[in-house]
């Protein structure tokens, strides 16, 4: 085993990678052991049901069997989340497209969808920055989702989301098409080296305009950081403390820089390794939400669901899981 070698820790980056892989394997083995114990228990319960025909035992058996099926499905799903940052927390950015109030309203609807999805999974959510629309909705929002595999589940959400509906803001009740873009970034651990030179940063402070009581509006606690070489701008105004906002903004900047570097590498390899869906442009339209038809269509895998209301209420798993399966199939094909 690599970790038993005397020079194992001389290459810190390699050592961290091997240690993480080992921890991941140990975690999977633990889950397998737990599933095997649960299966053995439910088999014993099944035998008791056959012998006694007790209704309470039958109900318990059915409940345990359903729980095992759910745990098996969840285990299979996490096996598909093997990317380098899939286990990380997620940073989701939503920006309204052209189209005025309808697009801004659509951006807020998407924000609600992801927050409800996170709530259903037991993830903690925190809106880091939000810019309200003029009449309704939001121009943009940045939200932090804390939970294992949050990034892995949501990374396929990045792209342009298209809304088709009868506009509630149009007196003539005409059909309106609106767009909003979604970016998903992993939270960067402190042990992941993303070099940021302080001389390349411009840091501005301003008064928070978000929720949080009187304190946030009385002090210049909000932070805006501009990375001068790339022009990337990040903002955070959620925390009461300027120090905490700066720390969160720096984490967001590092995540954006890492994502930009990964995008550059992906683009360089796109012809030989089909890592990007469609044209390879992550800003292309990925999904249409058609309200008159109650339909959601993901254009990357030609998936259509007539469960629009449930999806908008945060039930995204029926969309996410097929995308993960497709991604895994592509990765296996590339390795073949």
pLDDT, position 307: 96
pLDDT in tens, 31-54: 788 889 889 988 988 888 888 878
Q: Which CATH class is domain 90-191+278-335?
A: alpha beta
Task: Count CB neighbours of 98 within 10 A.
Answer: 7
Q: What is the mean pLDDT of residues 198-209?
A: 81
Highest mean predicted confidence (pLDDT) among 84-93, 153-162, 228-237? 153-162
Mean pLDDT of the chain: 82
Among the listed residues 254, 249, 226, the one whose alpha carbon sits nearest the alpha carbon of residue 238: 249
pLDDT, position 213: 43
Q: Which CATH class is domain 198-267?
A: alpha beta
pLDDT, position 214: 44
pLDDT, position 80: 81
The terminus-to-terminus CA distance of the chain in angstroms comes to: 27
Burial per residue of 113-139, b for 16 or more beta-carbon CB atoms within 10 angstroms, e otherwise? bbbbbbeebebebebbbbbebeeebbb
pLDDT, position 217: 52
pLDDT in tens, 70-106: 888 777 777 788 787 888 899 999 999 987 899 999 9
Which sequence spans correspond to the domains of the chain?
2-79, 90-191+278-335, 198-267
DSSP state for residue 168 in the 8-state scheme: T
Q: How would you classify the pairing of strands 285-290 and 159-166? A: parallel
Q: What is the mean pLDDT of residues 114-124?
A: 95
Q: How would you classify the pairing of strands 138-146 and 222-227? A: unpaired
Looking at per-residue pLDDT, the higher value among 329 and 183 belongs to 183
Looking at per-residue pLDDT, the higher value among 240 and 163 belongs to 163
pLDDT, position 114: 98
Centroid of chain to Cα 85: 11
pLDDT in tens, 250-308: 888 888 888 887 777 666 655 433 333 333 343 579 999 999 999 999 999 999 999 99
């Amino acid at each position: 085993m690599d970790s038993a070698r005397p020079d194992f820790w001389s290459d810190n980056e390699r050592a961290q990678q091997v240690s993480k892989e080992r921890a991941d394997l140990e975690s999977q083995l633990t889950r397998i052991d737990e599933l095997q114990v649960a299966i053995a228990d439910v088999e014993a319960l099944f035998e008791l049901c056959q012998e006694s025909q007790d209704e309470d035992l039958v109900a318990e058996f059915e409940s345990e069997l359903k729980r095992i099926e759910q745990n098996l499905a969840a285990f299979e799903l996490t096996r598909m989340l093997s990317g380098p940052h899939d286990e990380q927390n997620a940073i989701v950015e939503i920006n309204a497209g052209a189209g005025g109030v309808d697009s801004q309203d659509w951006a807020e609807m998407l924000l609600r969808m992801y927050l409800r999805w996170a709530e259903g999974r037991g993830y903690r959510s925190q809106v880091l920055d939000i810019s309200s629309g003029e009449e309704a909705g939001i121009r943009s929002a940045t939200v932090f989702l804390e939970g294992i595999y949050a990034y892995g589940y949501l990374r396929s959400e990045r792209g342009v989301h298209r809304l088709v509906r009868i506009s509630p803001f149009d007196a003539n009740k005409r059909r309106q098409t609106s767009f909003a873009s979604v970016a998903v970034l992993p939270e960067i651990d402190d042990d992941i080296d993303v070099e940021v030179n302080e001389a390349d940063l411009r840091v501005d402070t301003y008064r928070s305009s978000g929720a949080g009581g009187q304190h946030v509006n009385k002090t210049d606690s909000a932070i805006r950081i501009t990375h001068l070489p790339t022009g990337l701008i990040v903002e955070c105004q959620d925390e009461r403390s300027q120090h905490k906002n700066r720390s969160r903004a720096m984490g967001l900047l590092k995540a954006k820089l890492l994502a930009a570097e990964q995008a550059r590498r992906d683009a360089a390899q796109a012809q030989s390794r089909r890592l990007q869906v469609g044209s390879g442009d992550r800003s292309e339209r990925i999904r249409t939400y058609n309200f008159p038809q109650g339909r959601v269509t993901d254009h990357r895998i030609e998936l259509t669901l007539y469960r629009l209301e449930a999806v908008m209420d945060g039930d995204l798993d029926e969309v996410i899981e097929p995308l993960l399966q497709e991604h895994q199939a592509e990765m296996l094909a590339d390795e073949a």
